[in-house]
Amino acid sequence: MTMPLETTHLEYPKRRYGMDHDRYEWSMLANRPPVAWPSGASVAVWFNVSLQHFPLNPSGKPVKLPGSMSMPYPDLRHYTLRDYGNRVGVYRFLDAFARHGITPSFAINACLVERYPALIDAIVAFGGEILGHSWSMDTPHAGGLERAQESELVARALATLRGRTGAPVRGWLSPGKLQSANTPEILRENEIEYFCDWVNDELPYRFHTASGDLWSLPLSTELEDRFVVLENQHSEASWAQQVIDAFQFLLDEAQGQGGRLLTVSLHPWVMGQPHRIKHLETVLAHVAAEPRAWCASPSAILAAFSATAAPAKAEE
């Protein structure tokens, strides 16, 4: 007989009603008051474009993020393939969005302000809400990061991004959607109003921090271009089909349950490739042709959501 597990393995201190933590209230989507989007739209659609820098010499600490260098140094193939997104892919994106009259938001690694100010200026000129996306794809906000270090990181990233863009930057997407135990508090202390890291819902909800509440506005990973095409290795055409299937499903569900939200997370280094861009355009054309869709920025979605479903009601 081997040694049994420690007794703590059969103790359940958080076995209680609701969640096993105090970050947000337990609530089922189908039980909430219906949401009314502007102009009676059925589905709000939010496209987010992540602009990222993957250092050639990542520390990989405390964790290595998806998309990081994976070959022995210097991993030129992955470095340049990611950099392709910032040089080429993003401009294909901007043309495609402009052609279909849709404005995405941009989550930007702040180091790009220093590295590629021309890119930042092009994004500002294009318009579209700007979200903080930490410093680079080698600054994960994960357990193991010291609080003081993370505070400095968030403050530096936001000051840099706000400084160059002149945008208020009220939203945040953590690289790899990772967080440390302190991330929500630190974001709130830096005038962030919402983050997109917790993928547990399809509508916004209130997220509690010791420094005040935030909105959690989930940005789907399951439908993300990188996740579907590179991790799942589905074809580009299949990705477009899946996004359209999701969109049609939510249009149907909205009939009886009130406004729904489709979120599409994009990376120019993935869908900006010449063999993939037309599949993004297929999605944009499909959504743009649907009168029941409302393409909107995350802040506009949050404003509309909080206007029709007060936070207290949103959690039943």
Instruction: Point out which residues bind other proteins (CB under 8 A).
Output: 1-6, 8-10, 12, 14-21, 26-31, 62-63, 142-144, 176-181, 197-202, 218, 220-223, 231-234, 238, 241-243, 245-250, 253, 262
CB of 94 or CB of 203, closer to other proteins:
203
Q: How far is the CB of 42 from other proteins (least distance, A)?
A: 13
CB atoms within 10 A of CB 6: 8
Q: How far is the CB of 241 from other proteins (least distance, A)?
A: 7
Please name which of 274, 238, 198, 259 lies closest in space to residue 23, comparing C-alpha atoms: 198
The helix/strand count (H/E) of the chain reads as: 12, 9
CB of 108 or CB of 264, closer to other proteins:
264
Can you point out the beta strands (E) in the chain? 43-51, 105-108, 130-132, 171-172, 194-195, 205-207, 214-216, 260-266, 293-295
Residue 124 amino acid letter:
V
Q: How far is the CB of 150 from other proteins (least distance, A)?
A: 13
CB of 73 or CB of 249, closer to other proteins:
249
Q: How far is the CB of 130 from other proteins (least distance, A)?
A: 22
Which residues neighbour 297 within 8 Å (Cβ) at sequence distance 6 or greater? 46, 103, 105, 128, 129
Rounded Cα distance between 131 and 120, Å, is 12
CB of 83 or CB of 224, closer to other proteins:
224
CB of 29 or CB of 98, closer to other proteins:
29
The full DSSP string for 218-232 is: ---STT-HIIIIIIS
Q: How far is the CB of 246 from other proteins (least distance, A)?
A: 4
Question: Hey, what are 12's tokens?
Answer: 């359940």
Q: How far is the CB of 80 from other proteins (least distance, A)?
A: 26
CB of 32 or CB of 53, closer to other proteins:
32
DSSP-assigned letter for residue 46? E
Report residue 82: phi and psi, to 5°.
-70, -40
